Amino acid sequence: MSTIGLFYGSETGNTRKVAKSIVKKLGEDVVELFNVSKASADDVAKFSALILGSPTLGDGELVDSWKEFLPTFKGVDLTGKTVAIYGLGDQESYGHEFCDAMAILFEAAKAQGATLIGSWPTDDYEFSKSKAVVDGEFVGLALDNDNQKDMTDERVDAWLEQVKDALLG
Ligand SMILES: Cc1cc2nc3c(=O)[nH]c(=O)nc-3n(C[C@H](O)[C@H](O)[C@H](O)COP(=O)(O)O)c2cc1C
Protein backbone atom coordinates (compact mmCIF):
# COMPACT_ATOMS: atom_id res chain seq x y z
CA MET A 1 0.00 0.00 0.00
CA SER A 2 1.09 3.57 -0.64
CA THR A 3 2.51 5.52 2.30
CA ILE A 4 1.11 8.92 1.43
CA GLY A 5 -2.51 9.82 0.75
CA LEU A 6 -2.92 13.02 -1.25
CA PHE A 7 -6.35 14.59 -0.72
CA TYR A 8 -7.24 17.52 -2.95
CA GLY A 9 -10.20 19.57 -4.10
CA SER A 10 -10.18 21.72 -7.23
CA GLU A 11 -12.60 23.98 -9.07
CA THR A 12 -10.83 24.84 -12.32
CA GLY A 13 -8.10 22.20 -12.33
CA ASN A 14 -4.97 23.94 -11.04
CA THR A 15 -4.89 22.11 -7.69
CA ARG A 16 -5.64 18.82 -9.45
CA LYS A 17 -2.78 19.35 -11.90
CA VAL A 18 -0.36 19.96 -9.05
CA ALA A 19 -1.70 16.85 -7.27
CA LYS A 20 -1.04 14.78 -10.37
CA SER A 21 2.44 16.22 -10.76
CA ILE A 22 3.23 15.29 -7.14
CA VAL A 23 2.15 11.70 -7.83
CA LYS A 24 4.34 11.66 -10.91
CA LYS A 25 7.33 13.08 -9.06
CA LEU A 26 7.10 10.79 -6.01
CA GLY A 27 5.74 7.74 -7.81
CA GLU A 28 2.36 6.00 -7.98
CA ASP A 29 3.58 3.30 -5.61
CA VAL A 30 4.25 5.98 -2.98
CA VAL A 31 1.31 8.38 -3.30
CA GLU A 32 -2.38 7.56 -3.72
CA LEU A 33 -4.58 10.34 -5.07
CA PHE A 34 -8.04 11.22 -3.75
CA ASN A 35 -10.43 13.90 -4.91
CA VAL A 36 -12.14 14.83 -1.63
CA SER A 37 -15.50 14.78 -3.40
CA LYS A 38 -15.12 10.99 -3.50
CA ALA A 39 -13.09 10.30 -0.35
CA SER A 40 -14.10 8.74 2.97
CA ALA A 41 -12.83 8.89 6.54
CA ASP A 42 -11.37 5.39 6.12
CA ASP A 43 -9.36 6.61 3.13
CA VAL A 44 -7.75 9.24 5.34
CA ALA A 45 -7.24 6.93 8.32
CA LYS A 46 -5.29 4.27 6.43
CA PHE A 47 -2.24 6.45 5.64
CA SER A 48 0.65 7.32 7.92
CA ALA A 49 1.26 10.53 5.97
CA LEU A 50 -1.01 12.95 4.15
CA ILE A 51 -0.70 15.77 1.66
CA LEU A 52 -3.70 18.12 1.61
CA GLY A 53 -4.34 20.50 -1.29
CA SER A 54 -6.98 23.18 -1.83
CA PRO A 55 -7.35 26.42 -3.73
CA THR A 56 -8.65 29.44 -1.87
CA LEU A 57 -12.01 30.49 -3.27
CA GLY A 58 -14.94 32.69 -2.28
CA ASP A 59 -13.81 35.02 0.48
CA GLY A 60 -10.67 33.27 1.71
CA GLU A 61 -12.43 29.91 1.85
CA LEU A 62 -11.82 26.29 0.93
CA VAL A 63 -13.11 24.95 -2.39
CA ASP A 64 -16.68 23.60 -1.97
CA SER A 65 -15.67 19.93 -2.16
CA TRP A 66 -13.24 20.42 0.74
CA LYS A 67 -15.89 22.37 2.70
CA GLU A 68 -18.22 19.40 2.34
CA PHE A 69 -15.52 16.87 3.26
CA LEU A 70 -14.15 18.82 6.23
CA PRO A 71 -16.58 17.49 8.88
CA THR A 72 -15.73 13.91 7.79
CA PHE A 73 -12.02 14.73 7.75
CA LYS A 74 -12.25 16.26 11.23
CA GLY A 75 -13.62 12.98 12.52
CA VAL A 76 -10.32 11.20 11.86
CA ASP A 77 -7.69 11.02 14.60
CA LEU A 78 -4.41 12.13 13.00
CA THR A 79 -2.20 11.41 16.00
CA GLY A 80 1.11 9.98 14.78
CA LYS A 81 0.46 11.05 11.19
CA THR A 82 2.59 13.54 9.29
CA VAL A 83 0.73 16.13 7.24
CA ALA A 84 1.94 18.61 4.59
CA ILE A 85 -0.32 21.21 2.96
CA TYR A 86 -0.26 23.05 -0.35
CA GLY A 87 -2.62 25.67 -1.69
CA LEU A 88 -3.41 27.54 -4.88
CA GLY A 89 -4.23 31.23 -4.81
CA ASP A 90 -4.02 34.51 -6.69
CA GLN A 91 -1.80 37.08 -4.97
CA GLU A 92 -2.68 39.86 -7.40
CA SER A 93 -6.48 39.76 -7.29
CA TYR A 94 -6.75 38.39 -3.72
CA GLY A 95 -3.63 39.82 -2.09
CA HIS A 96 -5.53 40.53 1.14
CA GLU A 97 -6.48 36.84 1.61
CA PHE A 98 -3.79 35.06 -0.36
CA CYS A 99 -4.01 31.28 0.03
CA ASP A 100 -6.05 31.69 3.24
CA ALA A 101 -7.58 28.22 2.83
CA MET A 102 -4.28 26.59 3.77
CA ALA A 103 -4.81 27.98 7.28
CA ILE A 104 -8.16 26.18 7.55
CA LEU A 105 -6.58 22.82 6.68
CA PHE A 106 -3.61 23.56 8.93
CA GLU A 107 -5.77 24.35 11.95
CA ALA A 108 -7.95 21.28 11.38
CA ALA A 109 -5.01 18.88 11.03
CA LYS A 110 -3.29 20.37 14.07
CA ALA A 111 -6.42 20.02 16.18
CA GLN A 112 -6.67 16.38 15.08
CA GLY A 113 -3.21 15.68 16.47
CA ALA A 114 -1.15 15.62 13.25
CA THR A 115 2.50 16.58 12.99
CA LEU A 116 2.55 19.42 10.46
CA ILE A 117 5.52 19.89 8.16
CA GLY A 118 6.28 21.80 4.97
CA SER A 119 6.16 25.48 5.91
CA TRP A 120 7.34 27.70 3.08
CA PRO A 121 9.06 31.14 2.87
CA THR A 122 7.06 34.18 1.74
CA ASP A 123 9.94 35.52 -0.40
CA ASP A 124 9.10 35.91 -4.09
CA TYR A 125 5.41 36.60 -3.48
CA GLU A 126 3.69 39.99 -3.37
CA PHE A 127 0.61 40.12 -1.18
CA SER A 128 -0.62 42.22 1.72
CA LYS A 129 -2.22 39.64 3.98
CA SER A 130 -2.63 35.90 4.43
CA LYS A 131 -4.05 33.86 7.29
CA ALA A 132 -1.76 31.09 6.07
CA VAL A 133 1.31 32.98 7.29
CA VAL A 134 2.34 31.93 10.79
CA ASP A 135 5.62 33.10 12.36
CA GLY A 136 6.64 34.69 9.06
CA GLU A 137 6.17 31.63 6.86
CA PHE A 138 3.31 30.03 4.95
CA VAL A 139 2.00 26.95 6.78
CA GLY A 140 2.37 25.05 3.50
CA LEU A 141 3.40 25.46 -0.11
CA ALA A 142 1.72 28.52 -1.66
CA LEU A 143 1.27 28.33 -5.43
CA ASP A 144 -0.08 30.94 -7.81
CA ASN A 145 -0.84 29.68 -11.29
CA ASP A 146 -2.65 32.90 -12.16
CA ASN A 147 0.46 35.08 -11.84
CA GLN A 148 3.50 32.84 -11.34
CA LYS A 149 2.68 29.70 -13.29
CA ASP A 150 6.26 29.33 -14.52
CA MET A 151 7.45 29.03 -10.90
CA THR A 152 5.06 26.24 -9.88
CA ASP A 153 7.06 23.26 -11.04
CA GLU A 154 10.31 24.32 -9.40
CA ARG A 155 8.48 25.29 -6.20
CA VAL A 156 6.85 21.85 -6.07
CA ASP A 157 10.23 20.18 -6.63
CA ALA A 158 11.93 22.18 -3.87
CA TRP A 159 9.06 21.62 -1.44
CA LEU A 160 8.93 17.88 -2.10
CA GLU A 161 12.66 17.71 -1.48
CA GLN A 162 11.98 19.36 1.87
CA VAL A 163 9.04 17.18 2.99
CA LYS A 164 9.72 13.86 1.25
CA ASP A 165 11.78 12.11 3.91
CA ALA A 166 9.43 13.04 6.73
CA LEU A 167 6.38 11.93 4.72
CA LEU A 168 7.96 8.62 3.86
CA GLY A 169 8.85 8.10 7.53
C1 LIG B 1 -14.42 33.45 -7.24
C2 LIG B 1 -12.94 33.28 -6.92
C3 LIG B 1 -12.50 33.60 -5.64
C4 LIG B 1 -11.15 33.47 -5.30
N5 LIG B 1 -10.73 33.82 -4.03
C6 LIG B 1 -9.41 33.73 -3.73
C7 LIG B 1 -8.94 34.12 -2.43
O8 LIG B 1 -9.70 34.53 -1.56
N9 LIG B 1 -7.60 34.02 -2.19
C10 LIG B 1 -6.70 33.57 -3.13
O11 LIG B 1 -5.51 33.50 -2.84
N12 LIG B 1 -7.14 33.19 -4.36
C13 LIG B 1 -8.45 33.26 -4.69
N14 LIG B 1 -8.89 32.87 -5.94
C15 LIG B 1 -7.91 32.35 -6.92
C16 LIG B 1 -7.89 30.81 -6.99
O17 LIG B 1 -7.51 30.23 -5.76
C18 LIG B 1 -6.91 30.35 -8.07
O19 LIG B 1 -7.37 30.76 -9.33
C20 LIG B 1 -6.67 28.85 -8.06
O21 LIG B 1 -5.60 28.55 -8.94
C22 LIG B 1 -7.89 28.00 -8.44
O23 LIG B 1 -7.56 26.65 -8.23
P24 LIG B 1 -8.33 25.44 -8.94
O25 LIG B 1 -8.07 25.57 -10.43
O26 LIG B 1 -7.73 24.20 -8.36
O27 LIG B 1 -9.78 25.55 -8.60
C28 LIG B 1 -10.23 32.99 -6.29
C29 LIG B 1 -10.70 32.67 -7.56
C30 LIG B 1 -12.02 32.81 -7.89
C31 LIG B 1 -12.50 32.47 -9.28
Residue range 51-60: average pLDDT? 98
CA-proximal residue: ligand 1, atom 1 (nearest): 58
CA-proximal residue: ligand 1, atom 28 (nearest): 57
Greater model confidence, 2 or 19: 19
Amino acid at 162: Q
Quick one: pLDDT at residue 1? Answer: 64
Quick one: pLDDT at residue 169? Answer: 87
For domain 4-168, give the CATH number.
3.40.50.360
pLDDT tens readout for residues 97-127: 999 999 999 999 999 999 999 999 999 999 9
Q: Closest ligand 1 atom, CA of 9?
A: 26
Determine contact, residues 22/51, Cβ cutoff 8 Å. yes
Domain spans in the chain, listed from the N-terminal domain onward:
4-168
- Test site for ligand 1: of 94, 98, 102, most ligand atoms within 8 A of the Cβ: 94
Mean pLDDT, the chain, as a whole number?
A: 97
Q: Closest ligand 1 atom, CA of 145?
A: 21
Helix (H, G, I), strand (E, B) or coil at 39: coil
Residue 90 CA, ligand 1 centroid: distance in Å:
6
Residue 6, beta-bridge partner list: 33, 51
Quick one: pLDDT at residue 2? Answer: 73
Nearest to 59 by CA among 88, 92, 101: 101
CA-proximal residue: ligand 1, atom 16 (nearest): 89
Indicate whether 135 pLDDT > 80.
yes
Nearest to 6 by CA among 51, 37, 44, 46: 51
Residue range 55-77: average pLDDT? 98
Indicate whether 160 pLDDT > 70.
yes
Nearest to 118 by CA among 167, 81, 54: 167
Determine contact, residues 21/15, Cβ cutoff 8 Å. no
